[in-house]
Amino acid sequence: MFKKKALLPTIPRSQALNMIPVRNTEVEETPIPDDLIRLSYPLAIKPWFGQLAEKVGMWDKRPMIKHLELDEMGTFVWQLIDGEHSVRQIAEEFTRHYQVQPREAELSVTAFIKTIGQRGIIGLKD
Amino acid sequence: MAEFIWNGVGITTPDEWEPSAIERDGLVFENRDRHVCEVKWNVVQGSFSFDKHIKRLTKGHKNAALSGVTEDETPQAWTAALNRLTQSGIRAKSFIWKTEINQGIGAALHNPATGLAALIQFFIHNEQDETEAASTLASFRDYASGKTIPWAMFGLKARVPAEFKLETFSFKPGHYTIKFWRPKNAKNTGRLPAGKGPGTHLVFERFAPASVLLKRISIADWARQTMENAPPESVEISTDANTIYWNGTARTSLLRRTLQRAIYTQGAVWVTDNGNALLSVIAHGTVPAPDAIFTDICESYELV
């Protein structure tokens, strides 16, 4: 019950910035007013929860879809996630476009990428 | 070269260096994920002994072989940097240290005119680090004396009257805040915690990107809805092109007026011509800031 969580491996910042975010092919993007984007992505369900939900009739095994509306800056970053730009390059583009400090852009972009990565919307490749 | 001036101490570093830790009385710089420089400082009363400080350092870092440096051991550029500091009235004593992983060179500095005592050290990985360390050391400045004290950090700079002391600060993506505090009675400086008792808060903020923040809202509405120290509805906001101003009483009552505890607020928020940012200066507290001083502070606040 109180088993110590295994520490996740960490990688140096420079290496993390060189990684390339890749879109999940199952994610659908829909344009919404003001040139923004809504992402629809299948929800990853834990097997034990899936079984339980199925037994009590709450789930018919069809993938559950969640939606995420991006703001202007999120849309800007999403459009640069093309399997070619690295995190560093996206942060540099962000710095140029919004005229913010490089470190500030780096933190904003990495936080955004981490959030959508945790939701399974993107993956990262070396 | 990038200039950093923080709580009365300034240094100019190579462009690639960036602050990785900022304290009220200390800065740590990194370059490519490696520590390159640390500065700590304090104001000491009375005499200052270099030997005592070096001894204290040695005790605190038993794993590091720390020692003073003789003149012939000191790199030439470092000696030149020390000479420059000495000419500006700062006394210095160098030391070197070595552990199994790192090695470095540093100096204990003391300005007898202001009482500023500082410890600056550089991590040396190669020859270029030695040159950069020396040029950074030479740029060390004590800004503690003077009627106004400058500060410069993360592309912002301003000057504040010397009575204002650094209170708190935060640098979050999109929102930087630097707060100063001036107690009504100068004798209370250091006695009461910053921000307690009657006095004036001076808040510098930078919001970015302005183009996104002000997309569908006027600057006055944005300020009222978003800013922590926004003026209350009772205080009128004047607008002039890309700038808004206000000056009034935020909280008052008969009791507050009697006890001299009415809260005054004065502020200016403007969109910068370049840099896509919103800058704001707000003075609030029981002591109003004189208009001329507030205007000077606003004029000194800019993006670098």
Confidence band of B54 (pLDDT split at 50, 70, 90): confident
More confident residue, B13 or B126: B13
Q: Which CATH architecture has domain A13-125?
A: Alpha-Beta Complex (3.90)
**What pLDDT, on the 0 to 100 scale, is given for residue B300?**
97
Q: How far is A1 from chain B (nearest CA, A)?
A: 37
DSSP designation for B230: P
Quick one: tokens of B5?
A: 């001036």
A101 → closest Cβ in B155, B211, B215: B155
Per DSSP, the three-state class of B225 is helix
What is the rounded CA–CA span in Å between residue A109 and residue A91? 6
Chain B positions in Cβ-Cβ contact with residue A73 (cut-off 8 Å): 209, 212
Q: Are B94 and B120 in contact (CB under 8 A)?
A: no
Answer yes or no: is pLDDT of A24 > 60.
Answer: yes
Q: Amino acid letter at B131? A: T
When CB atoms are compared, the residue of B32, B154, B209 closest to A99 is B209
Query: What is the spatial distance between Cα B2 and Cα A106, in angstroms, rounded to a whole number?
Result: 19
* Cα–Cα distance measured from residue B268 to residue B243, given in angstroms and rounded to the nearest whole number: 7
Q: State whether residue B136 is helix, strand or coil.
A: helix
- Asked whether the ipTM of the predicted complex exceeds the cut of 0.90, the reply is no
Select the CATH number that applies to the domain covering B148-303 from these four: 1.10.8.60, 2.60.120.260, 2.60.120.1690, 3.60.15.10: 2.60.120.1690
Which residues partner with B191 through β-bridges? Answer: none
pLDDT tens figures, B70-103 = 666 777 888 899 999 999 999 998 888 888 778 8
Quick: pLDDT tens for B206-258.
999 999 999 989 999 999 999 998 988 899 999 988 899 999 887 778 777 77
B-chain CB neighbours of A91 within 8 Å are: none
A54 near A93, Cβ under 8 Å?
no
The per-residue pLDDT for range A51-90, each reduced to its tens digit, is: 887 788 877 777 788 999 999 999 999 999 999 999 999 9
Find, in chain A, the residue whose alpha carbon is nearest to that of B216: A34
**Winning range, highest mean pLDDT, from A60-74, B101-115, B152-166:** B152-166
pLDDT bin (cut points 50, 70, 90) of residue B19 is: very high
Pick the residue with more confidence: B192 or B84? B84
- Give the whole-angstrom CA distance, residue B4 versus residue B27: 9
- Cα–Cα nearest to A108, from A71, A68, A73: A73
Whole-number percent of chain B with pLDDT over 90: 59
Of A107-111, B59-63, B197-201, which one has max mean pLDDT?
A: A107-111
Parallel, antiparallel, or unpaired: how do β-strands B199-207 and B263-271 relate?
Answer: unpaired
Most B CBs within 10 Å, among A18, A70, A94, A98, to test the B interface? A98
Closest CB to B212 among A13, A72, A105: A72
Write the CA distances from B66 to A15, A52, A107, B134, B156, integer angstroms. Answer: 33, 64, 37, 19, 37
SS (H, E, C) chain A: CCCCCCCCCCCCHHHHHHCEEEECCCCEEEEECCCEEEEEEECCCCHHHHHHHHHCCCCCCCCCEEEEECCHHHHHHHHHCCCCCCHHHHHHHHHHHHCCCHHHHHHHHHHHHHHHHHCCCEEEEC
Give how far Cα B297 sits from Cα of B27, B110, B147, B151, B178, Å: 24, 29, 12, 12, 13
Predicted confidence at residue B182, as pLDDT, reads: 92
Chain A contacts of B208, Cβ < 8 Å?
Answer: 98-100, 104
Q: What is the CATH number of domain B2-142?
A: 3.40.1000.10
CB B180 within 8 A of CB B281: no
Q: For chain B, what are the domain ranges? A: 2-142, 148-303
Structure tokens at A67: 């939606």
- Per mean pLDDT, which of A7-16, A113-122, B184-193 is the most reliable? A113-122
> Which structure tokens are listed for B143?
């800004």
pLDDT value of position A63: 77
By Cβ distance, the residue of B33, B208, B277 closest to A12 is B33
